[in-house]
Amino acid sequence: MSDPETPVTVAITSELLFDLQSREPGPVFSFVKALEAANAQIKEHFPETKELFRVILINDNSSDKSLKETLKKTQLDKLIVWPPVSGENLIAKLKENKTHLYLSAKTGFKIHEAVNAGIAAASVFNSTLQQSETPNLPLCVVFDGDAVLFSDESECVTETGLENFFKHEDENVDIPMTEGPLKVFLEALKRLQRKFYDNNKREHCPILTYLLTSRNAGNAGYRALNTLKTWGLGTDQAYFLNGTSKGPLIKMINPHIFFDDQKKHLEAAMKEGKLACLVPRP
C-alpha cells in the first residue's frame, strides 16, 4: 500500500481534457474539475496534508503554451503538473510518478501494459461526449465488479452459461476473488476517505464510491461484498442488478466517471451523458 501522504495521481492524455484544436473542454473535464473541488475540501479540513489528487497530462508537445494558458484560464494549473510528460517510455514514467489511474483516448497495447504494471487503466469510451450536468462535489466514482474491481474469473464462467456461473458462485461463495485492474484506484480513493472517517468528519468527505454489478443479491452478490471486506475495502453503496440495464441507476447516481468492461453498459452510460471508461480484459 502507498505511503499515507502520497498524492493520488491520475494521468490523462491531454486531448481528453481539452480539444487540441479549439481548446474547448474535453470529455474528462468535469471529472478533473471534481478532483480539483475534492482537493479544496480536503485542504479545508487538513491544511497541511499532501494527500491530494494531482493530474499528469500526457502530451508530446511539452512546450505547448496555449495548453498552459488554457489551464490557467480554467483554474486547473494548481492541480495539473507542468510540463506534461511525453508518450515515449510512458509506462516507466507512469510508474515513476506513482500513478494510480491512467485514462487514455485510445484502446490497445499501452492500456494493457499499464494494467500489467499494476496501474489502474482504462480508455475513454465516449471521447466526443456531450456531458450532462454534474455538481463538482461529491466526486462520484462508479465501478463495475467482475473484470474491473475483481478478476474476470467469474465472467469467463458466465460466458459458458448462466447456470454454470450460479453454480460456480455457490461453490465458491466464501472464497474471495482475486483483484481486478481497478482495485488499486478504489484503494487510493478509500485512503482519502478514511482521512475523514478516522477524524469524525465523514459528513465532510468529498468522495463517494459505488459498486454497480450485474450480479444478483444472492451468493454472487455476497461473494463480491465479502471479497471487498477481505481486502479491507468497500464502497459507499452497492447495487446488484441481476442482469438488468445499468442505465437507470447511472442516471440516478449521476457519477463523474463510470468504469466497466462491457460496451453495452458503457453505451447505457453514454446515453445519460456520463463519462464511460472501458477497462481492458486480459
What does the pLDDT look like over 220-265, one tens digit per residue? 999 999 999 999 999 999 999 999 999 999 999 999 999 999 999 9
At residue 41, the pLDDT reads 97
Annotation marks residue 144 as catalytic: yes
Whether 1 has a pLDDT exceeding 70, the answer reads no
Helix (H) or strand (E) holding 225: helix 219-230
How sure is the predictor about 156, in pLDDT bands with cuts at 50, 70 and 90? very high
Query: Are the beta carbons of 45 and 36 closer than 8 angstroms?
Result: no
Residues linked to residue 204 through DSSP beta bridges, in sequence order? none
Mean pLDDT (whole number) for 192-200 = 97
Catalytic-role residue among 3, 144, 146, 152: 144
**pLDDT score at 172:** 97
Beta strands in the chain (DSSP E): 8-13, 53-58, 80-85, 99-104, 120-124, 139-143, 207-213, 237-240, 257-260, 276-278
